[in-house]
Structure formats: C-alpha cells, structure tokens
Amino acid sequence: MNLIIDAGNTSVKLAVFDRNNLIFYQNTDAESMPRLVKEICDHYPKISHSIVSSVGHLDKKVIAVMAVFCTVHELTPSSKTPYKNSYATAQTLGVDRMALATAAFYHNPKANTLVVDAGTCVTYEMVNDYGEYLGGAISPGLNMRYKSLNTQTAKLPLLKPKMPFDFIGNSTENSIHSGVVNGLCHEIDGVINQYKSRFVDLTVILTGGDAPFLSKRLKNTIFADSKFLLKGLNYLLEYNKH
C-alpha cells in the first residue's frame, strides 16, 4: 500500500492506495498532519511506501513521522518521470504539475491530453500523443480573483464564489460574481479551444477543488476527476520505487 500526501497552497490531502485503487482520502490542515499520518499508518499497517508533494512549506516533522512507518519519497523536479519532459526550465516545474502530467500520461496513453487544475491557481498541462510533456499555463484561481478585487481596490467587498444569475450584473455584488465566474469560465473555454485548434482528438480533464463549481458553466466537453493529482502521485511513487 502507498500513502500519498499532497500539500497544496490552501490544504493538505492524504490518500491511501492499494495498487491503483484509492481506499482512503481525507482533506486536512498542516497542523494536523503528524497526528493523522500516525493514525493512518496504524490503521493501514501494510503501507510500505509514501510520497510527499508540497508546493509550499511543509514541516519536516511530517516526513520524519512518515519515515518511522515506511519508505518516503519526497517529490522534487529531480524525481524520475515516465513522460519526456520538454519544459524549458524543468528544475522550476512545480511538483503538482509533474503529478498532473504523469496522471495524464497513464490515463490516456498515446493520446493528446490537456489537464485543467482549478485550485488556488488554475494550471494547464499538456501531454501529447508521443508521451511528451509540453508545458501549459498558470493563471489566478477563482478565490484569488475574488480576493484581488477586494485587496487591490478601496471599496469592493470580499465575496465568496457564487454562480451569477445573469451575465449582466444589476448590483455591485452581482457584477463581481459575473466578472469573476464568467471571466474564468470564458478563459478556460478559450484556452481549451486554442489547444483543440492545434491538437487532434484532444481529451480534456478538469480537476481541482473548484472543478465541481466551474464544470457546470463550461461549454467544452470535459472529464471531471477530483482525485486526478493524487492518482498521478501514486503513479510517480510506483515509478520511483525502481
């Protein structure tokens, strides 16, 4: 069994895989990590390997706790990947993007796949039908857009995401919802259309915390998979065992 830890910008996700089957999942905060890792390893004594992916600053105590129970692989740009990496600055590639590209590589072998991860940031990852990671894009996420309107202006309020009733906002709050939600959905649809114009038979995967909210508004046909990054980390762990 494998223990997977994805420490993102806003939360930490823990998962246990038995081969390729997800058998446990929990979302938590960084402070609860050491205790939860011990509880999970006690409950699943067959866990033999683990992988830690962090885009922020993860307390080294977590890795030390994990190392008591199993072999730990800390994901870095130097970790082995199954795809050909054509990113010009491979050493600066985020570990979350590496995991998404790996998931795309295994999910859709020998096919063109675009992964859209709608989280704190919105990232776009492209793996072509030669198994080559080409790169993509990084954009502000949904909540980041709401926060920027509040922090970068004098009077606009901080709102929680809400689906606009109409694209014409008839109040300041409705105008913000329309601008943020419609703007991001049009961005994602527009980016997908750009990729479709270049890559034949493109498969699009939508993942990330805001995927359920945004998927209802997108015009393009997509496959939503909220655990796509965790699956990629599990694949990477298996690939780096050898």
96 is catalytic: yes
Ligand-binding annotation for 106, yes or no, is no
117 belongs to an annotated ligand binding site? yes
Asked whether the beta carbons of 30 and 7 are under 8 A apart, the reply is: yes
172 annotated among ligand-binding-site residues: yes
12 annotated to a ligand binding site: yes
| Distance separating alpha carbons of residues 221 and 143, to the nearest angstrom | 24
Helices (H), the chain: 33-43, 60-69, 95-107, 142-151, 172-177, 183-198, 211-215, 228-240
The annotation status of 13 as a binding-site residue, yes or no, is yes
Residue 178, classed as helix, strand or coil, is helix
42 assigned ligand-binding residue? no
Count of CB atoms situated within 10 Å of the CB of 98: 26
| H helices, E strands: number in the chain | 8, 11
Does 10 carry a binding-site annotation?
yes
Q: Is 9 annotated as a binding residue?
A: yes
Is residue 19 a known part of a binding site? Answer: no
Catalytic residue among 18, 29, 59, 96: 96
* Residues 80, 18: Cα–Cα separation, whole Å: 21
Q: Binding site residues for K(+), as ranges?
A: 117
Among all residues, which ones are annotated catalytic? 96
**Residue stretches of the annotated binding site for substrate:** 87, 94-97, 172
